[in-house]
């Protein structure tokens, strides 16, 4: 696991080495074990290394035999032991044991199509002097990040936004549309960033700048090389219940695939452990890893758990799994978090506003793991692949009703009823029908967006100052979801929702959270559930094998019955965090000082009276506004602390 940075010049001119050193140094937390640089006319590549495989010989930038191809790489290639002999048979010579070298020779052999042969998590930049090409690539699911920006002379790129800050030719202007997306989603979806001039390379995309592009001084459009829905359709084992033999046969196949994916991710020359929250996904991964280590005669697996005060604490379940699987358990309490300080610090970790408060305990558990290991396995991806979120069940039920009602009735009578129905947040669940009626009145994509949104449209619009509202020009964050559902090529509602999750929520929220939190602690995290073959197989399963028995992940729970206590598998789902409503009420004086102060309001984004109303309603206990308040706190921290040497300005020319 590492950090990469680079400078490319269209004219082939000299590279500012001091600037490249500064960019690379900004990523030191991602690679505390060493730094490497390569410069030649037109290109500069910088690398920070966290040594995992071939700790002595795997230094980067790495080149081929005649030094005509250089690469910098962040991630792991799990199938490099198979690629190595294949490439050697084709005449390529390897100089070390690292997985990085497989990328160099794969490029020489297959060119841009090399990414289709790589199995792993990766973001890399490759320079081919003889072809005059720069090639950037990101893995299929978006586990590793890559940001880039065009400059008057060429292109700069890096693992994190902080490495691109204050660079010549990179304007640090805030995009008002990105602000709206951040408050709506809790993060800024690919390919945008908080800044107008900086982009994120989307998952499963490459960017190739060749000689014609250099001559025209342009940056071409990123190209997609993998599509999850098409991959699922191509997996013949998952097409129908008849093909996989029903629930028990599918559970057996899932167990086999999870064992294989986990075994591949145990490869390391440094200590390795696993997160263990006490939920289904992390328990399954920990169990698979513990079994593999025991069969190999290795010492027990180290597992890591964070406990919370009160009813949010899952420590007893994690302890039960650790005892059942024979792991060496490490537990730490997250009871004493200063949530206000943590929110304001979030921008320093993420480089832009990031509104998921569970990033705070995630960083704590990463810090705990780093004291005992350099690599940790996680259960990320289980919910997305096997339909574990409550919104999946909700969307499926509403979509069935939506398809029975004429569109005119939904837009008319149902929409009217939704507007008139009171918002009964504190009433029994059966009486809280306003959200359901509202979703039913909308088309499918906009309805699903409401189940994902952190702050609904009405609340966001109420918060904006006139200048920000005008800059948005009618921007609708939910339109992205509608477009993705159409792009998915699926008619089945659950398949559409899962496609949306894999394009937005998974890379933008879940994987970004884990990457930044783990890299802040110098820890590599690997996700067996996100093996791309397991993902395509899981997506292709029919809904009846994912949703059933009043919950999600039906086939996964059946598969894990052989490894994990049933009391863990079939209990209600909990999120990895604690409720913020109480802590924020207790800190109300500090909230008033920060959210009604110049740091937030002087940016011209928000209406002071609307923010004050939000604070008053939360303080009184009338409403739970913990998420909007947290999002505003994070944004305030970004505006006041992320770029103290630069004026923060809105770019009002980009909203359409």
Map residue 642 onto helix, strand or coil.
helix
Question: Is residue 557 located within the same domain as residue 598?
Answer: no
- pLDDT higher than 60, residue 57: yes
Would you place residue 444 in the very low, low, confident or very high pLDDT band (cuts 50, 70, 90)? confident
Query: What was the pLDDT predicted at 418?
Result: 55
Q: What is the pLDDT of residues 384-409, one digit of tens each?
A: 999 999 999 988 888 887 776 666 65
* 32 and 142 together in one domain: yes
Each residue's pLDDT tens digit, 168-195: 899 889 999 999 999 999 999 999 999 9
For residue 156 the two structure tokens come to 């700069």
Q: Which of 143-157, 216-230, 239-253, 430-444 has the lowest mean pLDDT?
A: 430-444
Q: Sorting pLDDT into bands at 50, 70 and 90, what band is 79?
A: very high
One domain for residues 115 and 263: no
Q: Who has greater pLDDT, 239 or 95?
A: 95
Give the residue-averaged pLDDT of 15-24. Answer: 96
Q: Choosing from 2, 114, 325, 366, which is the catalytic residue?
A: 2
Does residue 634 lie within any of the structural domains? Answer: yes
Residue closest to 109 by CA, chosen among 92, 132, 127: 92
Does residue 410 lie within any of the structural domains? Answer: no
The domain in which residue 625 lies consists of 581-650
Is the same domain home to 193 and 241? no
Of 99-108, 209-218, 292-301, 313-322, minimum mean pLDDT range: 209-218
> What long-range pairs does 296-300 form, CB within 8 A, spacing at least 24?
299/328, 300/326, 300/327, 300/328
Residue-level pLDDT at 202: 98
Above 50 in pLDDT, residue 241? no
Residue 428 belongs to some domain of the structure? no
Residue 206 falls within a domain, yes or no? yes
pLDDT at 646: 31
Residue 230: pLDDT band (50, 70, 90) is confident
Residue at 157 is within a domain: yes
Does residue 516 fall inside a structural domain? yes
Task: Give the CATH number, domain containing residue 60.
Answer: 3.60.20.10
Report the domain count for the chain.
3
Task: Please report whether residue 54 resides in a domain.
Answer: yes
139 and 186 fall within a common domain: yes
Handedness of CA 394, 398, 399, 400 (dihedral sign): positive
- Do 347 and 377 lie in a common domain? yes
Whose CA is closest to 273, among 248, 298, 254, 249?
298
Query: What does the alpha-carbon distance between residue 435 and residue 583 come to, in Å, rounded to a whole number?
Result: 26
Whether residue 366 lies in the annotated active site: no
On whether the CB atoms of residues 193 and 200 are closer than 8 A, the answer is yes
Percent of the chain with pLDDT strictly greater than 70 = 89
d(CA 245, CA 240): 9
How far, in Å, CA of 524 to CA of 3, rounded?
Answer: 12
The chain-wide mean pLDDT, for the chain, equals 89
Query: Which among 200, 225, 250 is the end of a domain?
Result: 225
pLDDT at 424: 55
Same domain? 329 vs 239: yes
User: Do 187 and 305 share a domain, yes or no?
Assistant: no
- CATH code for position 333: 3.40.50.620
Domain boundary among 549, 569, 589: 569
Residue pLDDT, tens place only, 499-551: 999 999 999 999 999 999 999 999 999 999 999 999 999 999 999 999 987 78
Bigger pLDDT: 485 or 404?
485
Per-residue confidence at 242, pLDDT binned at 50, 70, 90? very low
pLDDT of 198 > 90? The answer is yes
Same domain assignment for residues 288 and 193: no
Determine, yes or no, domain membership for 128: yes
614 & 558 share domain: no
Phi and psi angles of residue 315, each rounded to the nearest 5 degrees, phi first: -55, -45
| 256 and 296 housed in the same domain | yes
Helix (H) or strand (E) holding 457: helix 457-463
- Residue 653's pLDDT band (boundaries 50, 70, 90)? very low
The last residue of a domain, from among 526, 543, 569: 569
Are 324 and 370 contained in the same domain?
A: yes
**How far is it, in rounded angstroms, from Cα 155 to Cα 387?**
39
Please report the pLDDT score of residue 644 as a whole number: 31
- What pLDDT is recorded for position 649? 44
What is the C-alpha separation between 509 and 497, in angstroms, rounded? 16
447 pLDDT more than 80: yes
């Amino acid at each position: 696991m590492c950090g990469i940075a680079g400078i490319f010049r269209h004219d082939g001119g000299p590279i500012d080495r001091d600037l490249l050193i500064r960019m690379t140094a900004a990523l030191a937390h991602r690679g505390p074990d060493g730094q490497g640089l390569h410069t030649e006319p037109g290109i500069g590549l910088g690398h920070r290394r966290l040594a995992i495989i071939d700790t002595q010989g795997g230094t980067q930038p790495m080149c081929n035999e005649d030094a005509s191809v250089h690469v910098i790489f962040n991630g792991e290639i799990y199938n490099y032991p198979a690629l190595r002999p294949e490439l050697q048979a084709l005449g390529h010579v390897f100089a070390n044991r690292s997985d990085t070298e497989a990328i160099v020779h794969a490029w020489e052999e297959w060119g841009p199509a090399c990414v289709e042969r790589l199995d792993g998590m990766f973001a890399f930049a490759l320079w081919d002097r003889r072809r005059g090409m720069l090639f950037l690539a990101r893995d299929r699911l978006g586990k590793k990040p890559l940001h880039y920006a065009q400059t008057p002379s060429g292109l700069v790129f890096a693992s994190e936004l902080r490495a691109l800050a204050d660079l010549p030719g990179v304007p640090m202007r805030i995009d008002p549309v990105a602000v709206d997306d951040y408050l709506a989603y809790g993060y800024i979806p690919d390919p945008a960033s908080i800044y107008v001039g900086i982009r994120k390379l989307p998952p499963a995309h490459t960017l190739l700048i060749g000689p014609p592009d250099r001559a025209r001084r342009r940056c071409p459009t990123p190209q997609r090389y993998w599509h999850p829905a098409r991959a699922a359709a191509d997996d013949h084992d998952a097409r129908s219940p008849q093909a996989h033999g029903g629930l028990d046969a599918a559970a057996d196949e899932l167990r086999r695939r999870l064992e294989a994916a986990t075994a591949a991710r145990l490869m390391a020359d440094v200590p390795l452990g696993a997160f263990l929250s006490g939920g289904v996904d992390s328990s399954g991964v920990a169990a698979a890893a513990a079994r593999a280590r025991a069969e190999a005669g290795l010492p027990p697996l180290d597992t890591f758990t964070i406990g919370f005060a009160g009813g949010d604490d899952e420590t007893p379940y994690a302890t039960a799994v650790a005892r059942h699987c024979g792991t060496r358990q490490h537990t730490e309490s997250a009871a004493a978090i200063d949530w206000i300080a943590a929110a304001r610090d979030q921008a320093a970790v993420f480089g832009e506003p990031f509104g998921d408060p569970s990033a705070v305990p995630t960083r704590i558990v990463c810090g705990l793991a780093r004291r005992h290991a350099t690599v940790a396995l996680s259960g990320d991806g289980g919910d997305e692949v096997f339909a574990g979120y409550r919104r999946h069940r909700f969307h499926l039920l509403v979509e069935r009703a939506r398809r029975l009602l004429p569109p005119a009735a939904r837009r008319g009578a149902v929409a009217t009823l939704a507007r008139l129905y009171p918002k009964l947040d504190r009433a029994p669940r059966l009486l809280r029908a306003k959200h359901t009626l509202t979703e039913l009145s909308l088309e499918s994509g906009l309805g699903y967006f409401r189940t994902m949104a952190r702050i609904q449209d009405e609340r966001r619009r109420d918060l904006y100052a006139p200048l920000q509202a005008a800059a948005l020009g009618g921007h609708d964050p939910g339109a992205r979801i509608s477009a993705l559902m159409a792009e998915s090529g699926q008619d089945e509602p659950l398949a559409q929702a899962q496609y949306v999750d894999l394009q937005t929520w998974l890379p933008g929220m879940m994987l970004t959270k884990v990457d930044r939190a783990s890299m802040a602690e110098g820890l590599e995290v690997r996700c067996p559930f996100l093996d791309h073959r397991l993902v395509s197989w899981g997506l292709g399963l029919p809904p009846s094998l994912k949703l059933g028995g009043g919950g999600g992940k039906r086939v996964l729970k059946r598969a894990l019955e052989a490894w994990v206590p049933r009391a863990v598998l079939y209990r209600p789902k909990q999120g990895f965090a604690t409720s913020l409503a109480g802590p924020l009420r207790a800190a109300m004086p500090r909230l008033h000082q920060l959210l009604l102060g110049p740091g937030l309001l002087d940016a011209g984004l928000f209406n002071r009276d609307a923010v004050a109303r939000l604070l008053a309603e939360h303080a009184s206990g009338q409403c739970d506004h913990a998420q909007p308040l947290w999002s505003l706190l994070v944004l305030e921290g970004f505006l006041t602390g992320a770029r103290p040497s630069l004026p923060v300005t809105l770019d009002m020319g980009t909203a359409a």
